[in-house]
Amino acid sequence: MSDKLALITGASSGIGYWLANELGSRGYDLIVSSAGERLNEAGRDFQGLGVQVTEISADLATREGVKELWDAVDRLGRPLDVACINAGVGVGGLFWETSLDEELNMVELNCSGTVQLAKYVLKQMVPLNAGKILFTASIAGEMVAPREAVYAATKAFVLSFAHSVRYELRETNITVTALQPGPTNTDFFHRAGMDNTEVGQKGKEESQPQDVARQGIDALFAGDDHVYAASAKTKMEGMLANVVPGSMKGPMHEKMARPKTEK
């Protein structure tokens, strides 16, 4: 057993998987959570890193699921050194055509679940005056994002939340970092119904999840407020995000997110 413990949500695949892998490689015991069927397989991979792994299956789009996760963490009787609040989903398409149920579920997971879990984590960390939190936001949170309108809004929420909580904690030894990936080579776009788009077919190939995770954890340990990860294109877009007007950002995003069957 290590003397260091990390919690990672959405850890069965994608960026979350590699966040857990990165922390395990650095000697952290892991608590990994997901609602997916791949959690057991991922857990076996992490055990191969020589650390203790606790798997907790929970639906973090529900208040009950978040509470179930935290109760399981609490029963371990060990304080968290790191919390990676990463679980999230996307929904692609024109807002008036997309599923309201899917988008409300996304808001519950990406926003409400993030707030609830962060509350539990900080209630533990603040009395100890120690800990690090990584929130997975997105470069989309600073974009005009047609065909991902609600997704981008949820990530703008996460980004603002992370920055504000970081400021509140400025006189403590607790740090908060926002991870802002661009399109990344995971199954995110498939699950969002965006396979038949430029970003879903080619754009994501420019950034690999293991690189995003490594840069995110490096930024977390450096105490940075945020990091654009991982491709050079994402970093450049991040630098220009608050300079380029929305009238230009909107068409750029729509070109990537429009189905190729549409003209």
The Cβ of residue 121 has, within 10 Å, a number of other Cβ atoms equal to 20
Q: Which of 253, 8, 93 is nearest to 102 (CA)?
A: 93
Which of 119-133, 202-216, 218-232, 233-247 is least confident?
233-247
Separation of alpha carbons 141 and 158, rounded Å: 8
Reading the block at residue 83, the tokens are: 């919390």
Separation of alpha carbons 103 and 194, rounded Å: 15
What phi and psi, each to the nearest 5 degrees, are found at residue 131?
Answer: 140, 165
Separation of alpha carbons 167 and 3, rounded Å: 28
List own/partner pairs for 66-72 with CB under 8 A and 24 or more apart: 66/113, 66/116, 66/117, 66/120, 67/116, 69/9, 69/33, 69/117, 70/117, 70/120, 72/31
Residues in the chain: 263
Amino acid letter at 3?
Answer: D
Q: Is the pLDDT of residue 77 over 90?
A: yes
Separation of alpha carbons 76 and 71, rounded Å: 9
Separation of alpha carbons 200 and 255, rounded Å: 12
pLDDT (0 to 100) of residue 206:
73
How is the chain split into domains, by residue range?
5-257
pLDDT tens-digit readout, 241-257:
665 556 565 665 565 56
The larger pLDDT score, comparing residue 220 to residue 193, is at: 220
- Chain-wide mean pLDDT for the chain? 90
The larger pLDDT score, comparing residue 205 to residue 95, is at: 95
Positions annotated as catalytic residues are 151
pLDDT (0 to 100) of residue 255:
57
Select the CATH number that applies to the domain covering 5-257 from these four: 1.10.3720.10, 3.40.50.720, 3.40.50.300, 3.40.50.1370.
Answer: 3.40.50.720
Average pLDDT over residues 106-126: 98
pLDDT (0 to 100) of residue 144:
87
Q: Is the pLDDT of residue 108 over 60?
A: yes
pLDDT (0 to 100) of residue 228:
93
pLDDT (0 to 100) of residue 223:
97
With beta carbons less than 8 A apart as the criterion, state whether 138 and 155 touch: yes
With beta carbons less than 8 A apart as the criterion, state whether 29 and 53 touch: yes
Average pLDDT over residues 81-98: 96
pLDDT tens-digit readout, 14-56:
999 999 999 999 999 999 999 978 999 999 999 999 999 999 9
Separation of alpha carbons 125 and 82, rounded Å: 10
With beta carbons less than 8 A apart as the criterion, state whether 49 and 21 touch: yes
Q: Is the pLDDT of residue 171 over 90?
A: yes
pLDDT tens-digit readout, 143-164:
889 999 999 999 999 999 999 9
What phi and psi, each to the nearest 5 degrees, are found at residue 7?
Answer: -110, 130
Q: In the beta sheet, which residues pair with residue 226?
A: 178
pLDDT (0 to 100) of residue 201:
61
Q: What strands, in cross-sheet order, belong to the sheet with 5-9?
A: 53-57, 29-34, 5-9, 82-85, 131-136, 174-181, 226-229
Residue 145: is the preceding peptide bond cis (ω within 30°)?
no
Give the CA distances from residue 203 to residues 209, 212, 231, in Å, rounded to whole numbers and listed in that order.
Answer: 13, 15, 11
Q: Is the pLDDT of residue 200 over 90?
A: no
Reading the block at residue 13, the tokens are: 């695949």
Helices (H) and strands (E) in the chain, counts: 11, 7
